[in-house]
Amino acid sequence: MASTVIGSSIVIDGEISGEEQLVVHGTVKGRISVRDSLIVENGGVVEATVESVSITINGTVNGDISATERAELRPNCTVIGDIRAPRILIADGASFKGSVDMGG
């Protein structure tokens, strides 16, 4: 059960930080920094620098992504930006433009 949900009609322009799971159905511009998992749902748009433990993207992200555990790009997602995480998964059907750094 997600504790924080940004609904599909919600637009946040600024900075989100915290220590619990964040699910984005709407639009976030600026910066996201959560010490838990982040899920960008289908239809969600994130134009922000993203820092999290585990990141799952079904929607659109335009910005650099940094995860301390894993980053997963699901089918149908669109991601433009650099990804840094120890484990990175890019599913068949995902569109991605940027560099990948697994820290190896």
Partner 1 sequence: MATPVSNPAGAPCNIGPRIAIRGNVSGEEDLVIEGRVEGSIALTGHLTVTAGAVVEADLEVDSVDIHGQLEGDIVAATTITLHEGCRVAGNLRAPRVVITDGAQFKGAVEMDVQLPGGLQRQQRR
Nearest-angstrom CA–CA distance, 90 and 74? 6
- Could you say which residues in the range 49-68 bind partner 1, by CB under 8 A? 58
- CA nearest neighbour of 49 among 32, 24, 72: 32
- Asked if 94 interacts with partner 1 (CB under 8 A), we say no
- Asked if 85 interacts with partner 1 (CB under 8 A), we say no
Q: For partner 1, which residue of 2, 91, 100, 102 counts as binding (CB under 8 A)? A: 2
Nearest-angstrom CA–CA distance, 51 and 62? 13
Find the part of the chain contacting partner 1 (CB under 8 A) among 36-44, 60-68, 79-87, 88-96. Answer: 36-44
Amino acid at 96: F
